[in-house]
Amino acid sequence: GESVGLHLPTLSVQEGDNSIINCAYSNSASDYFIWYKQESGKGPQFIIDIRSNMDKRQGQRVTVLLNKTVKHLSLQIAATQPGDSAVYFCAENMIYNQGGKLIFGQGTELSVKP
């Protein structure tokens, strides 16, 4: 069935290093992808999104890469800070379908060591 999954459930990085979080998706019809950050005890927060007509999109310290050939998505965080420690989820959707139907991956816990 449709699913979005992550390669690494946990990631530990040193403060100041770059972080890369990966995600694999299986529904080739998905054309909109979102990365969320979830801190302990809080709801997911939007980080960045990308549509399938793009390969790369940059935000402030974050970059999302999309490889449609292998159905792979990644989130890069530059100069990782302690405040980046959280669980990161990728989610997929279809832009022209009805909204409100996000399919989430398992999540990766990012731990930043000072």
Nearer to another protein, 40 or 114 (CB): 40
- Measured from the CB of residue 89, what is the shortest distance to another protein in angstroms? 6
**Phi/psi at 70 (nearest 5 deg)?**
-110, 10
Q: For another protein, how many residues bind (rule: CB under 8 A)?
A: 28
Question: For another protein, which residue of 21, 44, 77, 85 counts as binding (CB under 8 A)?
Answer: 44
* Region of 79 on the Ramachandran plot (φ > 0 left; ψ -120 to 50 alpha; else beta): left
| Contact of 109 with 38, CB cutoff 8 Å | no
Longest Cα pair distance anywhere in the chain, in angstroms? Answer: 43
With a CB cutoff of 8 Å and minimum separation 6, the contacts of 41 are none
Cβ 68 to another protein, closest distance in Å? 17
Instruction: Return the SS3 of 52.
Output: coil
Does 24 participate in binding another protein (rule CB under 8 A)? Answer: no
Binding mask 88-107 for another protein (x = CB under 8 A): -x-x-x-xx-xxxxxxxxxx
- Judged by the rule CB under 8 A, the positions of this chain that interact with another protein are 4, 9, 32, 34, 36, 41-46, 49, 51, 89, 91, 93, 95-96, 98-107
